[in-house]
Structure 1
């Protein structure tokens, strides 16, 4: 699966497309329709883009006539949109019936998936991929967005339209707002402090614990010289501080499996206090990703094997 850097905006000329004359986007017809999927037309394109101001929007461009396999990709993304429960809204663009949108976005081929965050379009992938790979890639995208304070969710669509009175505003638990605001402002110390308050008040709050763990990763890697850190880790393979710092850098860069594998290997090579320090650090990274994530389940199995 080909992925472009998520932070790079794409060029989209929307001037030729009409703004909607009112009304909500319709659900995608046939297979693939879901609570968080809409069929995009020229009339609804702008409104779909505007919904990205509060939460992520994905646009999938496909063609039943030119590449039937692209339809399966669109269907899988629809399935995952429901699975992610509104963390993104999927806009399905059938270029056979809406060629003007494909021309405006300047897609190179089908399939093509564009991520839209706060109105900014960014190329995401342009290959058909198994649904498990899509799930992992989207999980990474969500993690990257969370570090930027983008954590909103879309409301489910009822028969293709928002529920009465629903303007698709971001759903944010007010308890997490101060920490998320601090992250959005780049105040990592403040974010750590706010998440710590939540964890102290309720140690069973998994979302707060995960937010705290990720905020600490970002705090520890702030202003770190990546090349120097990696060289130090290469020179001192059993130095726990050097190895955990590179694992943090991998995490911050979205390379979750690499971070886990580095620390599992470190646990396997070390003993005593050093081993316990590496193990504890790895558990913190597990919390940052989330205990239900398949990569964490795999990492826990690897850790157990390394320990015993």
Structure 2
């Protein structure tokens, strides 16, 4: 069995969002939007996180495919977008690399390009948000920490994974995992099979790009990362995302704290 690196939003067969354990009812994964108001919904699919009263952080690939981004939803209210600022070192994977991987089942070139890109963007809102408290960026490495993940994407269970073609916007769900990778651009976690798993073990996938990876600190949830891509299981030429054993990666925000601060400060001057 091989492993393929797959963007959570970029490819049509992505991976399912907030996929849970087989032995836990789906109802236990459901959540109300009011439980984390700083979650931002992008048009159609994808997420972001409000990190300042006029700023949202998201994955670059979650916004770069959109022809225009005029409105996002924060705290259940549509908010006008002033501009989208993509990290200057972000590079999308060329289509020919994707097509080659699909034909051959060999994904290492795709993986190398994915891992080397700075997949982060900032969205500036036209007006400050006064009715939602922004999330603070987690400053530690998060290695070994239990994290909370969430999203409205496709769903399923770990033994089966999910349908390759969505739908990629469903009801809001949340789950938990443990960070086992924290270095450079990325933090990551493995979707473990019961019984060696969190009671609400989960992973994210298609439709959840840009959504938060949260760590509990100072009695509140800080955002340590944003969902970006995963290494899904491949058998021959068949891809089986959302199954136990895959590793999910998020953009490690502490790695980009200087860029975020400088960009926000420059745009607000």
- So what's the TM-score if we normalise by structure 1? 0.22
Instruction: Tell me which protein shows more strand as a share of its residues.
Output: 2
Which one scores higher on RCO, CA 8 angstroms, separation ≥ 6? 2
Instruction: Tell me which protein shows more helix as a share of its residues.
Output: 1
Name the larger-Rg structure. Answer: 1
